Amino acid sequence: MFAARLEDRSFSREVIMAALNIDKAALSKMLSVVRAIPIELIEAIGAAPEVGRRRWMEFAEKLPKAKVELQAVLASLSADNSSDQRFQQAAGALLSLPKIARQEPRTNLWGARDKSVSVSVKATAKKAIVTYEAKDGPTFAAYITGRLDDLYEAFRKSQKPSTGD
């Protein structure tokens, strides 16, 4: 954390490396761990001197993938334990706490009355997958694709608030 605080105060990496007597790779690893783990969690765990850099790095890699609530991990830590024990508790909490529910994609369906084409749109918060099926599916997809510039422009205009002019 000391290295990150120095960097936040605009010290150059060369100065930080000299102050800590470490090389560029070690500094980069240190900073990546501090940036990946919420500061509240690092402070709640403490120094954990017996844990070692490698286990902190593994913890930092697993934390975002675990998708657990930070407050639940913090609540699982006991202030009566040593910082090394709190690290073990936090690492164990990643495995034992319930995962944050992943939002299932929603699917919208549309079909032509004559059933010559059907369209399904599977959407999440960050992406959408459009599938064209049936006899006219591929040609309808090509038709839409050929008009994407115009469709997107119309979409953008529809998103702008009306000024009344």
pTM above 0.75, yes or no: no
Helix axes 24-36, 13-20, angle to 10 degrees: 100
Please report which helix (H) or strand (E) contains residue 9, including its range: none
Q: Any bridge partners for residue 107, and if so which?
A: 122
> Is pLDDT of 111 > 60?
yes
> Is pLDDT of 74 > 60?
yes
For residue range 119-149, what is the model confidence (pLDDT) as tens digits?
A: 999 998 888 999 999 999 999 999 999 999 9
81, 44 Cβ separation under 8 angstroms: no
Q: How many residues does the chain have?
A: 165
Q: Any bridge partners for residue 130, and if so which?
A: 121
- List of residues 6+ apart from 45 with CB closer than 8 A: 77, 83, 86, 87, 90
For residue range 13-45, what is the model confidence (pLDDT) as tens digits?
A: 999 999 999 999 989 988 888 888 888 999 999
Q: Between 148 and 2, whose confidence is greater?
A: 148
